[in-house]
Amino acid sequence: MSNIFTMNSSFTKTGNNLEGATNYREWKARVEMIIERNKVLGIVISKFTKPYDEEGKEKCHEDDILARSILLDSVRANLIPYITKNKTTKVMYDDIIGLYTINNVNQSINLRG
């Protein structure tokens, strides 16, 4: 498997971290590609059932840590306290997406604001 730090370095070195609504779409495309390249996209975007066997549990735990690391390395420091309170990587990702997804006209006006 590829090294997480090598794959994530594109965020911190090039300033591609999630800043807010201005670069949300680009960030989302980049982070999903890195997560998919690391073969942990399923943990991030879908609900899954944890395996019962010890080997499966360990693999699941490693994948979860990898996915969380990618997400944490890809956002600005001010978002970290907001998203680290979550129990699962999927909830962490959904909270980030929820911050910047436009659901109604009022939210659209506030984001442009």
Of the ranges 15-19, 57-61, 84-88, which is most confident? 57-61
Chain-wide mean pLDDT for the chain?
79
In the chain, domain spans = 4-112
Nearest to 79 by CA among 59, 95, 58: 95
Nearest to 40 by CA among 19, 9, 72, 71: 71
Between 71 and 11, residue with greater pLDDT: 71
- The pLDDT of residue 110 is 53
The whole-number average pLDDT for the span 76-80 is 88
pLDDT at 4 over 90: no
Buried b (16+ CB within 10 A) or exposed e, 13-40: eeeebbeebeebeebbebbeebbeebeb
What proportion of the chain, given as a percentage, has pLDDT over 70?
75
Structure pTM? 0.74
Q: How many beta carbons lie within 10 A of that of residue 1, not counting itself?
A: 11
